[in-house]
Structure 1
Amino acid sequence: MATLTEQLTRTSVRVDKLTRRYGDRIILDGIDLEIPSGQFVALLGRSGSGKSTLLRALAGLDHGVKGSGRLSVPARVSVAFQDSRLLPWKRVADNVILGAAGSRDAKARTNTTLAEVGLAGRGHDWPNQLSGGEQQRAALARALVNDPELLLADEPFGALDALTRIKMHELLRDLVQRHRPTVLLVTHDVDEAIVLADRVVVLDQGVISEDITIDLPHPRPYGDQHLADYRIHLLRALGVGPGAKADE
C-alpha cells in the first residue's frame, strides 16, 4: 500500500482551461486546477460563482452544457449531494448497495460501511424512519461503499442543524482517514472549510481567486484560535468584513 506521502505526489484531478457557459453567461472562465491524490479540498465561493458547475463537470453530470477545456478524474468517482437522495421505496441497505453495483461482495461491503457511519442494524429500515442526519449518514455510506478514488460532495451538510453538522464533520474526517479518497467539498461555510480541508480554493466570478493550504493538524475544533487568521482571510476573499474585495 502506498504511504500518504506517496499518494499526495500523484495527481488525482486535473482541470485545464475549463470553461462552461449557460446561454451568454460564462460560469467557469478558463479554470486550471490540480488536486493530488488523497488531498481534501474545500471549494468556497458566493452564490453563482461556479462551485456546483465545477463539481458537476468533474462528476460528468453536465452533458449538453456549452464549454471547453480538459478534465482528468479517476475511474471511481462518487457524489454526495445536499439532500440524501435516498430512494423512498427501497430500504436503507438497498439504497447503500446501489453504490456497490457490480461488486461481488456488495452485501458485505454494505454492512461494513453502514457500521462505519453508525447505522449498524438499520439496513432494514425505510429512509423515512431515519432522522435527517441519519439519512445523510446513509448517503455517505452509499458514496463510500465502493471505495471511490474521488469523492465529490456538494454541500452535504447544508440542510442539517448546527449540532448535527458538527457531528457529521467528525464522521466525514474519520471516513476520509479510513478510505483515503481525494475529496472536493463544495460549501458556503468558511468554518466548515477550514475545520475539514487540507486546502481551500475560492471561486469568484468563474475564476480561482484564492488557493491556500490549511497548515494545521487534525482535529481542528471550532473556536480554535489558530483558525482565526484563515477565517479572516477567506471571509475577506468572499467579500465579508474590513478589507474585503469589493464587487465590480
Structure 2
Amino acid sequence: MAPHPGQLKPGIQAVHIRGLVRRFGTKTILDGVELDIAEGEFVALLGKSGSGKSTFLRALAGLDREVEGTGILGVPENLSVVFQDARLLPWRSVIQNVTLGLPGTPAQDRGKRALAEVGLKGREDAWPNQLSGGEQQRVALARSLVREPALLLADEPFGALDALTRLKMHDLLRELCARHRPAVLLVTHDVDEAISLADRVLVLEEGRFIEDLRIDFPTRRDHGDARFAQYRARLLSRLGVDVPGRKVPKVLEASQ
C-alpha cells in the first residue's frame, strides 16, 4: 500500500508522479503512470470509459490508498476535489456548505467572498434544494476555492449540466483559475471542453498516457478556429474516433 501523498518541496511542480500502479484483482488499471504538473498549470485528462481516469484522480486526492508506486507520488497537502454532483449537505445552508470545516468568523467572510466570486452573492442563507444544478456546482466550486488549494482536482464537474450552463461554467472556471492560480487536473469525456480550458490535454489508454498535447492559441480560443479543429481531430484520433476525411494535421505532428 502506498503512503498518502506527501507535501512537495517549494518549486515549480505541483504534482510529481513516477511509477504509479493500481490493480483491481488481476486487472491493472494504472500501469506505471508518470506525470508532472507545474504550479498554476491546467491539465485535462481524456480517455474511454473504464480507462482509469477517475481512479487516477482518486489516487491523487488520497481517496484510494491501495495504489502502488516504485518511484515518487507527490502532491500538495492543500488540495480540493470537485465531483460531478455538487455533494452539498441538504441540512446546511449555502454558506455553511462553503465554509464546512473552516473555523471562526474569518471563515464566514471568506465564504461570502467566494460565493460572490461565483455569482451567488446574497444566496448565503439559501438551502441547496432551492438552487438549480448549475448554482449547486457554483457552490461546490466556491467550497473548493475558499481553501485556496494548490491543486484542484475536478472529476467531470459539468457532466450533469445542460449545454448552455456548461458553457457558462467553463467561463467561470477559466476566470477563477486565472485569479487563484491553482494547478488543475480536470477529468472529462468532452474533447471540446478539454481544448477550451486546458494548457495540456492527456489521453489515458490501457493504464498509460498515450498523448500529452500542449494547447497553444495565439489569441482567444474559438471553436470555429482552424487550430481548434486540428486539436480536436488529433485527440479524437487518439481516442479511436474515426473522423471521415480527417488526417493528423501537420502542425501537430511534432507532438507525437
TM-score w.r.t. the length of structure 2 is: 0.88
- The residue type paired with residue 181 of structure 1 is P
Q: Is the 8 A contact 1:79 1:143 kept in 2?
A: yes
Q: Is the 8 A contact 1:117 1:171 kept in 2?
A: yes
Take 2:171 and 2:219, find their aligned partners in 1: how far apart are those partners? 10
Residues 207-226 of structure 1: CA deviation (Å, up to 9, x unaligned): 00000100115642333332
Q: Is 2:128 aligned against 1:127?
A: yes
Q: Is the 8 A contact 1:48 1:205 kept in 2?
A: no
Change in Cα spacing, 1:66 to 1:14, as seen in structure 2 (3 Å) is: closer
Take 1:146 and 1:66, find their aligned partners in 2: how far apart are those partners? 26
**CA apart distance, 1:23:** 0.9
- Taking only aligned residues, the RMSD between alpha carbons, in angstroms, comes to 1.6
Q: Is 2:48 aligned against 1:46?
A: yes
Match of 1:211? 212
Take 1:35 and 1:58, find their aligned partners in 2: how far apart are those partners? 12
Q: Is 2:92 aligned against 1:87?
A: no
Match of 1:148? 149
Unaligned runs of 5+ in 1: 1-8
Match of 1:164? 165
Q: Report matched runs for 1:18-29 at 5 Å.
A: 18-29=20-31
**CA apart distance, 1:103:** 6.8
Take 1:53 and 1:60, find their aligned partners in 2: how far apart are those partners? 11
Take 1:44 and 1:214, find their aligned partners in 2: how far apart are those partners? 14
SS of the residue 2:108 aligns to:
helix
Q: Report matched runs for 1:1-248 at 5 Å.
A: 10-63=12-65, 65-69=66-70, 70-98=72-100, 101-102=102-103, 105-217=106-218, 219-242=220-243
Change in Cα spacing, 1:204 to 1:103, as seen in structure 2 (3 Å) is: farther
Name the count of aligned residue pairs: 234
Take 1:159 and 1:218, find their aligned partners in 2: how far apart are those partners? 30
Change in Cα spacing, 1:176 to 1:22, as seen in structure 2 (3 Å) is: same
Take 1:194 and 1:110, find their aligned partners in 2: how far apart are those partners? 31
Take 1:152 and 1:217, find their aligned partners in 2: how far apart are those partners? 27
Q: Is the 8 A contact 2:222 2:228 kept in 1?
A: no
**CA apart distance, 1:74:** 1.1
Unaligned runs of 5+ in 2: 1-10, 248-256
Take 1:82 and 1:225, find their aligned partners in 2: how far apart are those partners? 31
**CA apart distance, 1:232:** 0.1
- The residue type paired with residue 118 of structure 1 is G
- The residue type paired with residue 232 of structure 1 is A
Take 1:36 and 1:107, find their aligned partners in 2: how far apart are those partners? 31
Take 1:106 and 1:130, find their aligned partners in 2: how far apart are those partners? 22
